[in-house]
């Protein structure tokens, strides 16, 4: 049985109510019919968390806020894109735990519509009480965060910086824990998942899952990741580095090579946050068959990859596939012009 000893002594602020459920997508399978080639499709509902609208970033924030409080910080400064899910959940987590929150949001996506700049996650950032700094195109979010930390220090505050996606080595621990959770749930329901499909943005989720699977005695090549931020080769090298850092932090004597990880660039399209036809089709398919919402930046592209891999045979007939639903549905409202253009 997997237990939590690897986290002994590491500060953690609980933000979740317990394990997120795993559900079989029976109606989707029926609608796909022969196209699904006998593949069983399951979803792990990391969108079903009670805080801040839910989503995978809360797993990272449990350890990041734990670290911030352990260091005596009173303010969290988080960086991300305009429609950052991490920023939204950082704001919600700070509201819950009593930290002040400042969000440095950079123009990472060339979308200038009013709904993109002010709706979706940005609307929620403000509702959760964060101080939102929206940068001009070309401004450096990291540099702005550094300046802001200094300004806060001069005002007698102590700030903790959470970078893009919260994908620090400590942040990755949230998905190490998720790997243990998955191992337990797989045993409980009697299903071994041949493929675990996820998006890879800043790499923390993938790195944490891979490290956790190594610790749990499973092989991380079962994880089929679809990059949504960087070209596949850059994404792969960055993720391998993060896995190594996590294993070192936990004093685990193991190493992974790029050959141990699977990252596809087929769904990236024109880049981060840029819509693709396959993403729109995937979002609409899951919504119309299961009543489930996946976001247009991460989950939509990863689920499009899952469907494509079933059709191509990359996901073998009769196999069990688990799709991790990472949340981010507020982003749908920022892409309303794309999703309703048919």
Catalytic residues: 84
Query: What b/e string do you get for 195-232 counting C-beta neighbours within 10 Å, with b at 16 or more?
Result: bbbbbbbbbbbbbbbbbbbbbeebebebbbbbbbbbeb
In contact, 47 and 329? CB cutoff 8 Å: yes
Dihedral of alpha carbons 69, 88, 207, 145, sign: negative
Cα separation, 16 vs 8, in Å, equals: 18
Cα 307 from Cα 282, distance rounded (Å): 8
Tell me the CA distances in angstroms from 62 to 50, 66, 67, 205, one per residue in order: 14, 6, 9, 14
Phi, psi (deg, nearest 5) at residue 103:
-115, 125
């Amino acid at each position: 049985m997997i237990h939590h000893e690897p986290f002994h002594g590491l500060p953690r602020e609980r933000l979740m109510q317990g394990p997120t459920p795993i559900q079989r997508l029976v109606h989707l399978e029926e609608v796909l019919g022969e196209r699904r080639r006998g593949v069983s499709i399951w979803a792990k509902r990391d969108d079903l968390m009670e805080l801040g609208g839910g989503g995978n970033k809360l797993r990272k924030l449990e350890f990041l806020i734990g670290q911030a409080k352990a260091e005596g910080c009173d303010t969290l400064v988080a960086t991300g894109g305009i429609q950052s899910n991490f920023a939204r959940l950082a704001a919600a987590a700070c509201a819950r735990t009593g930290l002040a929150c400042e969000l440095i949001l950079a123009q990472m996506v060339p979308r200038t519509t009013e709904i993109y700049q002010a709706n979706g996650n940005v609307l929620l950032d403000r509702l959760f009480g964060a101080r939102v700094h929206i940068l001009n195109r070309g401004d450096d979010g990291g540099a702005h965060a550094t300046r802001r930390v200094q300004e806060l220090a001069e005002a007698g505050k102590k700030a903790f910086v959470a970078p893009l996606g919260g994908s620090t080595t400590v942040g990755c621990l949230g998905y190490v824990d998720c790997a243990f959770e998955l191992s337990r749930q797989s045993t409980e329901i009697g299903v071994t998942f041949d493929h675990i499909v996820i998006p890879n943005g800043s790499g923390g989720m993938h790195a944490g899952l891979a490290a956790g699977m190594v610790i749990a005695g499973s092989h991380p090549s079962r994880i089929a990741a679809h990059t949504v931020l960087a070209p596949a080769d850059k994404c792969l090298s960055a993720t391998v580095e993060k896995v190594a850092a996590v294993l070192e932090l936990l004093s685990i004597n193991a190493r992974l090579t790029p050959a141990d990880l699977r990252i596809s660039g087929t769904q990236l399209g024109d880049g981060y946050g840029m819509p693709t036809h396959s993403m729109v089709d995937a979002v609409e398919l899951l919504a119309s068959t299961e009543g489930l919402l996946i976001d247009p930046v991460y989950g939509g592209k990863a689920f499009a990859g899952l469907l494509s891999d079933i059709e191509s045979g990359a996901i073998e007939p009769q196999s069990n596939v688990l799709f991790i639903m990472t949340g981010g549905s507020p982003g749908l409202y920022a892409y309303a012009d794309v999703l309703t253009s048919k």
